[in-house]
Structure 1
């Protein structure tokens, strides 16, 4: 284990307001989840994992989640499965909140609760079928599509943390991908990449299947404008959306028709890094990682003072 930067000492009123705002933004209405119980029950991955470090940063989780969805929507069967059977277009904020909560439960939730949630997701996927606008039949439980969705999520979260918060070695990134293997299998993604090499191979395999679509641009416009942050902070939301598309490989930009408006300038990159660095040091007592630490009788600042070699 190595020591890393300790949490920023914040005035009590500032800490409480940030914590309250986090709960409001991260919790879908009527879907409170208790990460602090059952006492001493382990998660799908241990507290000492790379995953617990990566997912504790709310800025890079937000950015990486957008990156993942863009890659998902680039695949026509996933695109229309999401767009035809979800509430993204009519209720973007609650849909975004539910997706974020699912990621947190998968990483920090007690194993029994995470497995129950994943089983519920799988049951919903079994009912999702249809035909793409190009006339291709799809099923949400198609193993190939499940592998792609898991890969895009891993790519997005990992790259966002690596690029904007803290650089990770190849070994650390390989460990992160390997740590997600068990959860991916529970979702039915038995061949999701467990290493950088496997990730590269899957991207090359999927490359011919990706297509430009107006849906991608509709999603990006929607996520930049959905009322996640207050109106005065909305420019930062747009900036983080651009940070997400900047993570995509250049060939994906070309495939999807993304232009310079979907890349960060040097000054914008520095701002995003500063936001991610600050988020890396702000301890939010109500956040899933802190609540999960309490479940395991670990100190609130466990993830901020101790980390595996990165």
Structure 2
């Protein structure tokens, strides 16, 4: 056995554990054990596309791209800027979001509903006025639907580009339908159920979207000012470049984002594949998940 074989597993485990702790937070191990070990029916069985998409390393790029896209709705962005703590506690916000996704995607039906109920309670309390004077309420079904479609579109784009096993057409539609179940539970009355409906719904929101000062400030923060140690800045820059390139061209234009314009599209995309492959390799060192419960 050579030196790299001796040191490789230790490095892999350290990187995987570090990534998991940043994304899942201090209660990550406890939540993981409950999500995958608690008995009971699930909203989604092991064969469902939502598990394939949400369990892949491509979510690191898709999640950041979703934040950028969501920021283009002034009322949604004002709610985030005023109440989410994304600047003062960005890791906490990431951890809360990833925990919600994990419970609703993999957890028992009871725990998934409990996670949804908590988010709905929080949304109900979030009200305010945008800098331009528009009132907003986080529980507004119209805003909830925008956040949902921007997220689903970004997650699916990332998976199809960087996922270990991209879905076929039927799988993409099934993923959108799976995600719609969570959206309805959160208060979205009529979420899209397939790619055609998703594209049409995104197009309906286009007239409402613009890059406010809050949106541009959020983009600068998440792309150029992340609270990371120096050693992590390089990999994060790769993630950020690919998150920007993943956006629809009209969204990049609105935010005036030209991340790594001197690099060809193919080079940026290759860097994203290498990065997600490395994350996938590292996360595979975590203890295996055990789940025996059947879906509802």
**Residue 270 (structure 2) pairs with residue 270 (structure 1):** yes
What is the alpha-carbon distance in structure 2 between the residues aligned to residue 173 and residue 99 of structure 1? 22
Does structure 2 conserve the Cα–Cα contact (< 8 Å) formed by 1:57 and 1:279? no
What is the alpha-carbon distance in structure 2 between the residues aligned to residue 264 and residue 151 of structure 1? 29
User: Residue 263 of structure 1: CA displacement?
Assistant: 9.1
User: Residue 284 of structure 1: CA displacement?
Assistant: 3.0
Does structure 2 conserve the Cα–Cα contact (< 8 Å) formed by 1:93 and 1:226? no
Gapped runs of 5+ residues in structure 1? 1-9, 299-310
Moved more, 15-24 or 173-182: 15-24
User: Residue 12 of structure 1: CA displacement?
Assistant: 4.1
User: What does residue range 225-244 of structure 1 map to in structure 2 within 5 Å?
Assistant: 225-228=225-228, 230-244=229-243
User: Residue 79 of structure 1: CA displacement?
Assistant: 0.6
User: Residue 64 of structure 1: CA displacement?
Assistant: 0.8
Does structure 2 conserve the Cα–Cα contact (< 8 Å) formed by 1:63 and 1:244? yes
TM-score (norm 1): 0.83
TM-score (norm 2): 0.86
Gapped runs of 5+ residues in structure 2? 1-6
Which residue is equivalent to 1:213? 212
User: What does residue range 131-150 of structure 1 map to in structure 2 within 5 Å?
Assistant: 131-150=129-148
What is the alpha-carbon distance in structure 2 between the residues aligned to residue 116 and residue 90 of structure 1? 26
Does structure 1 conserve the Cα–Cα contact (< 8 Å) formed by 2:192 and 2:201? yes
Which residue is equivalent to 1:307? none
The count of residues paired between Structure 1 and Structure 2 equals 282
What is the alpha-carbon distance in structure 1 between the residues aligned to residue 13 and residue 251 of structure 2? 41
Q: Describe the superposition over 1:241-296 as per-residue Cα deviations: whole angstroms up to 9, x where unpaired.
A: 12112111112222332235479632222111122234445553647xx53xx122
Which residue is equivalent to 1:302? none
Of Structure 1 and Structure 2, the greater helix share is in 2
Q: Describe the superposition over 1:20-78 as per-residue Cα deviations: whole angstroms up to 9, x where unpaired.
A: 22332122245641223313x233211111111111223x1111111111121100110
What is the alpha-carbon distance in structure 2 between the residues aligned to residue 14 and residue 273 of structure 1? 20
What is the alpha-carbon distance in structure 2 between the residues aligned to residue 278 and residue 18 of structure 1? 10
Q: CA RMSD in A?
A: 2.4
**Residue 101 (structure 2) pairs with residue 103 (structure 1):** yes
Task: Provide closer, same or farther for how the CA distance between residues 247 and 153 of structure 1 changes in structure 2, counting only shifts above 3 A.
Answer: same
Instruction: State the SS of the aligned residue for 1:130.
Output: strand
Task: Provide closer, same or farther for how the CA distance between residues 240 and 67 of structure 1 changes in structure 2, counting only shifts above 3 A.
Answer: same
What is the alpha-carbon distance in structure 2 between the residues aligned to residue 75 and residue 161 of structure 1? 24
Q: Please, which of 12, 15, 24 is the counterpart of residue 27 of structure 1?
A: 24
Does structure 2 conserve the Cα–Cα contact (< 8 Å) formed by 1:174 and 1:194? yes
